Homo-oligomer: A and B are copies of this chain.
């Protein structure tokens, strides 16, 4: 008898990654293609189909594929569509779930990428066995997924869990969403870069970060500078963590989760972000919630969290 496996797909603005994942969360085979090389929706769906067929052939003698789980930005989970994604090679409303299901002949689920990472953490990572938790993805923006009673909070229109667009500074930094002071303008790879530039304007201390243009500077550069002891970079992490902990206190009184997990590129900085966030969260937690929720790093590698989460959509359903 063949073993069971599923295909997880992580649709991103740069690359689309696919993997065959077994029931223990092990990645058996991988594949990927350049998202931007596709021209339009049908070309994009064809690229997915080709990759799925090719992956399936690699394990056809040993594994039965149960279905396809897809994590993607800007998707409507209820309708199974992607529309208006800023970084994908199509702008129309594309019925991705239906098209992939039809063309690959496999049961398909499509879920928002931030929710997918939260689901994956519960299936294969640090949230195993938890019914109430949240996961925050610190990438270019700040994504989040919240699990209540074992289910992702989707809301009335499939739009819930936009923690990155809760407010943290009244009339604060301009956000891409049109508002001011959204959390992700302070806490994300882009947010910490903005903080570094603000600090460069406030302090006179020298720093290797003063050699970068805004376009050049990445969160990785800031992390490396902080690890080398750079004052500005350390200060930027401290402020970012403090702000994050302050807002996670809101999440905790609203959802009373067992734990909150940090994932994404900026979480790779580990204690640089986690320590000040924990300290700030502890300080801002009201008495009745003290000691009830943990703030932790995701246990899934940030590279594969979305892929594993996408795969777990099929195992869970």
Please report A residues at the B interface, Cβ cutoff 8 Å: 130-132, 146, 148-149, 151, 153-163, 165-167, 169-170, 177-179, 182, 246, 249-251, 253-258, 284, 286-289, 292-293
List chain B residues, Cβ under 8 A from A254: 146, 153, 160-163, 166, 251, 254
Chain B residue contacts of A293, Cβ below 8 A? 156
| Nearest neighbor of A166 in chain B, beta-carbon distance | B250
Partner of A255, one of B130, B153, B246, B257: B153
Q: Could you list 7 A-B pairs, sorted by A, with CB under 8 Å?
A: A148-B155, A149-B154, A159-B289, A162-B286, A166-B250, A178-B287, A251-B254
Complex Cα distance, B177 from A251, in Å, reads 17
Residues of B within 8 A of A165 (CB): 253, 286
In contact, B256 and A154 (Cβ under 8 angstroms):
yes
User: How many chain copies does the complex carry?
Assistant: 2
A39 CB to closest chain B CB, in angstroms?
Answer: 26
* Residues in B neighbouring A159, C-beta threshold 8 A: 253, 256, 288-289, 292
Contact in complex: A157, B286 (CB < 8 Å): no
Complex CA distance for A163 and B253, rounded to whole angstroms: 7
Distance A146 CA – B254 CA, assembled complex (angstroms): 9
Say yes or no: B253 contacts A166, CB within 8 Å: yes
Most buried by B among A146, A156, A163, A288: A156
B residues less than 8 Å from A154 (CB atoms):
149, 256
The answer to whether A167 and B246 have CB atoms under 8 Å apart is yes
* Distance in Å: Cβ of A68 to nearest Cβ of chain B: 25
Whole-angstrom distance from the CB of A146 to the nearest CB of chain B? 7
Measured CB to CB, the nearest residue on chain B to A163 is B254
CB distance from A168 to the nearest CB of B (A): 8
Query: Which residues of B sit under 8 angstroms from A146, Cβ to Cβ?
Result: 254
Closest 10 CB pairs of A and B: A155-B256, A160-B256, A162-B253, A132-B156, A166-B250, A177-B286, A159-B256, A156-B258, A165-B253, A165-B286
Q: Is the CB of B155 within 8 A of A255?
A: yes
Task: Please give the distance in Å from A121's CB to the nearest CB on chain B.
Answer: 15
Best-buried of A158, A161, A166, A254 by chain B (most CB within 10 Å): A254
Contacts of A162 in B (CB 8 A): 253-254, 286, 289
- The reply to whether A257 and B170 form a contact with Cβ atoms under 8 Å apart is no
Give 16 A-B pairs besides A131-B156, A169-B170, A170-B246 with Cβ atoms closer than 8 angstroms.
A132-B155, A148-B148, A149-B154, A153-B254, A156-B292, A158-B256, A159-B253, A159-B288, A160-B255, A161-B256, A162-B289, A177-B287, A178-B286, A178-B287, A179-B284, A254-B254
Using CB atoms, name the residue of chain B closest to A247: B167
Question: Measured between C-beta atoms, what is the minimum distance from A247 to chain B in Å?
Answer: 8
CB distance from A158 to the nearest CB of B (A): 7
Report yes or no: A250 in contact with B177, Cβ–Cβ below 8 A: no
Q: Tell me the smallest distance from the CB of A192 to a CB of chain B, in Å.
A: 19
